[in-house]
Amino acid sequence: MTKTERETGLRVLAVTDVSTWDDAVWTQPRGTIFAASGWGTYKARRGAGVERLSVVDEGGDLLGLAQVQSRRRGPVRQLYIQGGPLLTGKGERHGEAVLRTLLAHLALGPLDLLVVDPTRTESPGAVLGLLAAGFRPVATAGRHTLEVDLTAGLDAIQAGMEQRWRKALRKAERQPDLTARFLDDPAERLAAFDAFTAMYAALKTRKGFSNDFDAAAYRDLAAADLRHVILEIREGGELCLVRIAHRSRDRFTDFFTASTERAKANAAAYLAVWHFIRRGAAEGCRVFDFGGIDPAGNRGVYDFKRGLTRTVVSSGPLWLYGRHRLVTAAAGAVLAR
């Protein structure tokens, strides 16, 4: 037991059973795929150590959850909490104690760095806890997204579109050979994800961009988890677009998409996003999140997204913690670029 645990009466427990972990995550209103076990498994396949930690009080009541990724580079540990920490209703009143208990358990060394990326899950209690525990927020231009208010109704959403967006959507809807279908069958989902992987690789080559997403390491996880919404669009029976979203209690979030050259001509992307909006609204989500924007770096995608909505919101900062100010200052300077 750490000194902090003795002082606060809180304890950190490792959760090794993934079903137990996922039940706890999805019970929380702000739970997302980034806190769920599948994302941790994906990161472990990419070489990270992964710990799933719960914070409980003296009576055993759950206060918080954090899935911690870790990598060691020489004498330095880099720790990363994504999609959290999640606080329960009771934990909201003890955010600082939960954060300090987690920090004591992680026992950062002099050069270690902890990065917390709530990924749109921050609650008031969590933010207050991060601030009180000494975390440093770092905001960047890239941490912004566009949102659609799904509670406004489909007619209001269409009325708010730019004319070019409505025109493209009508064009797509009038094409009898263009069909959109959500996939629930595991084999179909896996096949669609494999098709997405091939199209995504071709897209990166064609557009000249790169990222660290490893589709091969994620394929079975996404296909097996129905909170990943997979939509395929076919033209005359031929696949031309796969779009993937992820769903939480209140948010329907655009995740990845890839398409063939035909999708430009037939406006498949407009049809796909509109199907996402209709699906999210039907399932009771309050917000459709476009999954981020990069106006300076990817103008074309940004222009596509802002034709549907101009409601821009911050995705929130990254939160950095190190034992020494120079460690967090240096990391903050790098991340803020």
Q: What is the pLDDT of residues 77-111, one digit of tens each?
A: 999 999 999 999 999 999 999 999 999 999 999 99
Q: What is the pLDDT of residues 31-44, one digit of tens each?
A: 999 999 999 999 99
Mean pLDDT value across residues 39-55: 98
Q: What is the pLDDT of residue 48?
A: 97
322 has pLDDT over 70: yes
Q: Cβ contacts of residue 326 below 8 Å, gap of 6+?
A: none
Q: What is the pLDDT of residue 212?
A: 87
Tell me the pLDDT band of 329, cut-offs 50, 70 and 90.
confident
Tell me the pLDDT band of 5, cut-offs 50, 70 and 90.
low
Residues 77 and 219 in one domain: no
* More confidently predicted of 167 and 331: 167
Q: What is the pLDDT of residues 54-84, one digit of tens each?
A: 999 999 999 999 999 999 999 899 999 999 9
Residues 53 and 190 in one domain: no
Q: What is the pLDDT of residues 148-163, one digit of tens each?
A: 999 999 999 999 999 9
Mean pLDDT estimate for the chain: 94
19 has pLDDT over 90: yes
* Cα atoms found within 13 Å of the Cα of residue 128, Cβ hemisphere only: 11
Q: Could you tell me where the DSSP H helices lie in the chain? A: 3-8, 18-27, 37-45, 95-106, 124-132, 154-160, 163-173, 186-207, 215-224, 262-266, 268-282, 299-306, 325-335
CA distance 205 to 268: 21
CA distance 336 to 36: 27
Q: What is the pLDDT of residue 8?
A: 77
Q: What is the pLDDT of residue 142?
A: 87
Q: What is the pLDDT of residue 1?
A: 65
Q: What is the pLDDT of residues 258-292, one digit of tens each?
A: 999 898 899 999 999 999 999 999 999 999 999 99
* More confidently predicted of 207 and 214: 214
Residues 128 and 8 in one domain: yes
324 has pLDDT over 80: yes
204 has pLDDT over 70: yes
189 has pLDDT over 90: yes
Domain span at 245: 144-314
> Domain total for the chain?
2
Residues 175 and 206 in one domain: yes
Task: Look up the CATH number of the domain holding residue 51.
Answer: 3.40.630.30
326 has pLDDT over 90: no
Q: What is the pLDDT of residue 336?
A: 75
Residues 128 and 48 in one domain: yes
Tell me the pLDDT band of 184, cut-offs 50, 70 and 90.
very high
Residues 69 and 181 in one domain: no
Residues 8 and 91 in one domain: yes
CA distance 179 to 133: 52
Mean pLDDT value across residues 168-196: 96
Q: What is the pLDDT of residue 335?
A: 82
Mean pLDDT value across residues 12-34: 98
Q: Which amino acid is at 297?
A: G
Residues 99 and 156 in one domain: no
Residues 94 and 20 in one domain: yes
Quick check: 83 and 33 in contact, CB under 8 A? yes
Q: What is the pLDDT of residue 275?
A: 98
Residues 150 and 266 in one domain: yes
Please tell me the total number of residues recorded for the chain in this structure. 337
Residues 205 and 118 in one domain: no
7 has pLDDT over 80: no
Residues 115 and 167 in one domain: no
